[in-house]
Structure 1
Amino acid sequence: VAFLVAYHQNKQLIGEKGLLPCKLYLQNVKKYFKGKINLDALSYAPTIIWFLDWSDMDSILDYLSLFGLATSAFVLVTGCANMVLMAVLWVLYLSLVNDLYNNCFLFHFSYVGTTGWESQLLETGFLGIFLCPLWTLSRLPRHTPPSRIVIWGFRWLIFRIMLGAGLIKIRGDRCWRELTCMDYHYETQPVPNPIAYFMHRSPWWFHQFETLVNHFIELVVPFFLFLGRRLCIVHGLLQILFQVLLIISGNLSFLNWLTMVPSIACFDDVSLGFLFSSRRGGVKARAAQMQLKEAAGEQLP
């Protein structure tokens, strides 16, 4: 979805005749580093566009987006991924986002904010690299159980996302402290959907209840992550349910879907087992067989 969005809006935003041409930004970065594309320039503006021909920037932006779209579609349709594919996707999106969007805006204006889900997708994608085997495209790879470090990386990510969202609301506008923000949230959110009309017309006490629930989910529930397995699972369930409600009542592109991803790390194999068939030869049976062999000390091929 992110690459599809980039394909549709790149040229209008940062293309040759876009609002803020990225070529101009890169030229200024190159000039700042005395006309050299060295490690300093790469660390300041990390993008593979440095190594491409800038004569047709619109085509470059299209090719990067379409290549990313095709690669991600392969992963989505087949359910197969490895570290190489995930790293390619991360580098492609980093090239489009990290400096060509954010720094391009910051270069021209003292402060122009961009949506936070670009950086969130990059961090999620970076962690996803280390969930995959190096080369194999097997859907159930051997010798590559999820690392505890990566699992806790995802948990730490959702903790920061939700707690940060709650704190910025409390600090940003007193309506969140007075429990009145939901009185007009549904008519001021980005592109309200049909359900938002009915939610907006709810009674005042329901809007106050919504605000309290929001504070509970964003300011209290994140700490469940550190209070044992059961509360960690409860945290995952509540966060996913919260995002589903936001999808039903609003329109924030893929942000809510993206926020569900690190929440999945709150569950273990036992809690997710019901999602997989117990039939002989199924994924659950094969995974259990692999675990039994490993526990018995057998060498897996």
Structure 2
Amino acid sequence: MDWFGTGDYEIARQVLQRGVAACFLIAFVSAVNQFPALLGDHGLLPVARFVTHVRFRDAPSVFHWHYSDRMLRILAWSGAALAATLVAGLPQLGPPWLPMLAFLLLFAGYLSIVNVGQTFYSFGWESLLLEAGFVVAFLGSEQVAPPVFVILFCRWLLFRLEFGAGLIKLRGGREWRDLTALYYHHETQPMPNPLSWFAHHLPPWFHRLEVVGNHFAQLVVPFFLFAPQPVASVAALIVLLSQFWLVLTGNFAWLNWITIVLAFSAVDDATLRALLPWLPAGEAAPDSPLWFIILVSLATALLLVLSYWPLRNLFARRQLMNASFNRYHLVNAYGAFGTVTRQRHEVVVEGSDADPADETGWRAYEFRGKPGDPGRRPRQFAPYHLRLDWLMWFLALGARDTRWFEMFLARLLEGDRPTLRMLRVNPFPQAPPRYVRARVYRYRYTTPAERRETGDWWVRSEVGLLVAPITLSWRTSGGSRG
């Protein structure tokens, strides 16, 4: 075994490469299904308009040269197909440059999407996927031992992800410090899943234990990822358990899944075989070629230099959350839910063909993931990401940039089919309505007694009007929100 590689992390390499590739696969399929309606030629925030105001050097993307929905679909389907080969492990059977090239192509393709995705691609897990894809590219193939520097950098990425999130919470809302955050989180999180209602109704002592467990997993455990084995593997197991609980109780796209994948960078083969004795014994890989050692060393040096900015951010008074320090989204700052809202507000969009003063004529559009009909049980969508539904959650919190929502209302009045396909229920299947409006409701979970009596999952009460009834002429006359 050469000094550069380690034979103790072959299973970890398989999990890292295939797992990250699986997340890329989901991300590219999501782009095929949602990008044209949101950002395409006739989208809510068209790319063609965006690239006229933003330089290539500030947001590198192939779409600066040309954008069309057809080109987007070609890029996204090509990325999905390439990611599928990596999930199957095919490039990993060849020379070490082959999976490296495959992951760097995925990185470049998805970077082109993210950098023109505007608010629809402003989530931390986009940068996380790009960084993880770039890093695991240098793990090589089965013809070389996994480079120890890359394995350690995967742990450093996991450390920043977890410790950064822990610090954000500690510096954030008081509810994280007085251990009450989980009294509210399961009810007010962006997109509850089928088990969130049950998690919310667990006893208060359990919710306080959840917060204590979260602080331990994010503020203490990450340091042990760099400890000798088997301590590092135990630390990784704790991260895995905490992330699986988040998977069971919420919809956070691929954030939790890619964190689970990264945790395997701290689990050595010996520990896995001790836990799973049926796993086959690995074979010693040949020494790494000189060109591979040089290339991986240069990439590692670059990543270490870029680590200065997120490392400084961890100890900054005003810690940035989900921030990129360069246009390539490499070596970023992570963290979420520094504060937990105590009340849930939802924007309900309605249309009408009748006199807008007639309340009986209004019918609601239903979204796929976000709460709407109180009798509909929340669904599971993660690791798939419903971008429109997530932005509707931010809209209810008072998001400043609402250009996309104004265009969304206009598309409903036009009966735009790509936009309507993103919804679960279109109450006007024959022709678009004459009017649309948006109302804000406060939502809370039903109690177990209310659930038994009504069968509903939610109780809602109207807060007020966000957008008064509008017609298509509102858009052309420069109307604004109510």
TM-score, normalization: structure 2? Answer: 0.50
Query: Residue 183 of structure 1 aligns with which residue?
Result: 183
**How far apart are the structure 2 equivalents of 1:44 and 1:192?**
35
In structure 2, the CA distance between the partners of 1:256 and 1:68, relative to structure 1 (3 Å rule), is: same
* Aligned pairs (5 A) from 1:221-300: 221-273=221-273, 275=276, 277=278, 284=281, 287=283, 290=284
Query: Residue 5 of structure 1 aligns with which residue?
Result: 30
Alignment partner of 1:22 is 2:47: yes
Query: Residue 416 of structure 2 aligns with which residue?
Result: none
**How far apart are the structure 1 equivalents of 2:194 and 2:51?**
42
- CA shift for structure 1 position 117: 0.4
Whether the 8 Å CA contact 1:90–1:126 is kept in 2: the answer is yes
Q: Stretches of 4+ moved more than 4 A in 1?
A: 274-278
- CA shift for structure 1 position 191: 2.3
Whether the 8 Å CA contact 1:276–1:284 is kept in 2: the answer is no
Whether the 8 Å CA contact 2:230–2:271 is kept in 1: the answer is no
In structure 2, the CA distance between the partners of 1:29 and 1:197, relative to structure 1 (3 Å rule), is: closer
Which amino acid in 2 is paired with 1:63? I
Q: Deviations over 1:39-91 (max 9, x none)?
A: xx3x322112234x43xx21122111111111111221345441111111111
Query: Residue 38 of structure 1 aligns with which residue?
Result: none
- CA shift for structure 1 position 225: 2.0
Query: Residue 84 of structure 2 aligns with which residue?
Result: 73
Query: Residue 166 of structure 1 aligns with which residue?
Result: 166
Query: Residue 59 of structure 1 aligns with which residue?
Result: 70
Specify which structure has the higher proportion of helix.
Answer: 1
* Secondary structure of 1:100's aligned partner: coil
* Aligned pairs (5 A) from 1:114-153: 114-133=122-141, 141-142=142-143, 144-153=144-153
**How far apart are the structure 2 equivalents of 1:264 and 1:156?**
12
Identity %: 39
* Secondary structure of 1:128's aligned partner: helix
Q: Aligned-residue CA RMSD in angstroms?
A: 2.1
- CA shift for structure 1 position 276: 7.2
**How far apart are the structure 2 equivalents of 1:28 and 1:117?**
25
Query: Residue 202 of structure 2 aligns with which residue?
Result: 202
**How far apart are the structure 2 equivalents of 1:79 and 1:260?**
22
In structure 2, the CA distance between the partners of 1:245 and 1:28, relative to structure 1 (3 Å rule), is: same
Query: Residue 96 of structure 1 aligns with which residue?
Result: 113
**How far apart are the structure 1 equivalents of 2:69 and 2:121?**
24
Alignment partner of 1:45 is 2:45: no
Q: Deviations over 1:196-225 (max 9, x none)?
A: 111111111111111111111111111112
* Secondary structure of 1:198's aligned partner: helix
Specify which structure has the higher proportion of strand.
Answer: 2
Whether the 8 Å CA contact 1:130–1:150 is kept in 2: the answer is yes
In structure 2, the CA distance between the partners of 1:204 and 1:277, relative to structure 1 (3 Å rule), is: closer
**How far apart are the structure 2 equivalents of 1:67 and 1:19?**
24
Whether the 8 Å CA contact 1:192–1:251 is kept in 2: the answer is yes
Whether the 8 Å CA contact 1:11–1:58 is kept in 2: the answer is yes
Bigger relative contact order, structure 1 or 2 (CA pairs below 8 A, ≥6 apart): 2
**How far apart are the structure 1 equivalents of 2:175 and 2:74?**
45
* Secondary structure of 1:27's aligned partner: coil
Number of equivalent positions = 255
**How far apart are the structure 2 equivalents of 1:189 and 1:77?**
34
Unaligned regions of 5+ residues in structure 1, if any? 31-40, 106-111, 134-140, 295-301
Whether the 8 Å CA contact 1:4–1:69 is kept in 2: the answer is yes
